[in-house]
Amino acid sequence: MAVIRSLKRTPGLLRDQPVLFVPPLLIAILQTPQLFAQTFDPIVSSLVSIGMSGLFVFVLPFLFGGAIAIANDAATSGATSFGRFLEHGKAFYLSMLGAYLVFVGISIVFGVVSILIVFVGVFGIVLTNGGASGLIVVGLAYLLIALLFLAVVALFQFYGHAIVIEGARAFESLKRSVDVVRTNLKQVLGYFAILFVGGMVMGVAYVAIMLSTFPQPTPGEPAPALDLGPALVGTAATVVVGTLFGTVFLVYSVLFYRSVTGLDDSPRSSPTPGRR
């Protein structure tokens, strides 16, 4: 089964090619400014978050493209390098950016719908004088939106793999991802279960680090003073956790994609730099 077979191969690639840890490490480091943002004034904190989100839109496609490519290199030829990461990141950047912008656009639509649900829900609760029926309707609406968004994420999750490993263009990669999920639904559900469990473990570790090392803001109160020592320890810990889990997820996803698409049985293996 692709789920188990890919999981078993992951540790070996990580051991043989430590350069695979570099892209997730860079991503984890880029996220550290937002750890400190909560200790700033709310306006400054919001500006930092917006600025970092804007930066991620243009930086992440490069990092993800290069990361998927060197993981694919390692899976096919058994060797890769940081230079290959940079080369692949540039080669696939435009297609990765185009597909990522589509995905961000979809996420924004879901966000707007969620906000509308809040307003409609509040209005409905007022009309029903705070009755339980209004709360139930709002809760069910949020659950539906969350499930729909999760379904979209599941369908489009392999767009980067389609671009880098199979040379698809931006919009083609989204269709290819849907096809892969649709034709391998049972295996994808098993793959998703592994990611869910790993994500839960990572989330618990992350929350534990944040609560123990960063001062937590209190609504209506001034931003808490930052204790630099524990904050730096917490930052380093989140970078380590993010890097470890991110690298495992990355390599596992590439191995899984190759397995369910039959690429491991095909002579076509490594991505070709310059293809977009």
DSSP codes, 21-36: GHHHHHHHHHTTHHHH
Enter the tokens of residue 128: 């029903």
Q: What is the pLDDT of residue 48?
A: 76
Q: What is the pLDDT of residue 223?
A: 61
Specify whether the CB–CB gap between 144 and 71 falls below 8 A: no
**Is residue 162, in this structure, part of any structural domain at all?**
yes
**Is residue 209, in this structure, part of any structural domain at all?**
yes
Give the helix ranges, DSSP H, for the chain.
Answer: 2-16, 22-30, 33-37, 42-76, 82-91, 93-127, 132-156, 159-166, 170-183, 185-213, 228-260
| Host domain of residue 34 | 2-265
For 57-101, write each residue's pLDDT tens digit.
Answer: 999 999 999 999 999 999 998 889 999 999 999 999 999 999 999
**Is residue 271, in this structure, part of any structural domain at all?**
no
**Is residue 272, in this structure, part of any structural domain at all?**
no
* Backbone φ and ψ of 128, nearest 5°: -95, 10
**Is residue 252, in this structure, part of any structural domain at all?**
yes
**Is residue 276, in this structure, part of any structural domain at all?**
no
Measured torsion, CA atoms of residues 46, 52, 58, 63, in degrees rounded to the nearest 10: -150
pTM of the model as a whole: 0.86
| Structure-model confidence comparison of residues 120 and 209, the more confident one | 209
Q: What total number of domains does the chain contain? A: 1
Q: What is the pLDDT of residue 276?
A: 44
**Is residue 9, in this structure, part of any structural domain at all?**
yes
Helix axis angle, 2-16 to 228-260, nearest 10°: 130
**Is residue 275, in this structure, part of any structural domain at all?**
no
**Rg for the chain (alpha carbons), in Å?**
21
DSSP per-residue letters across 189-203: HHHHHHHHHHHHHHH
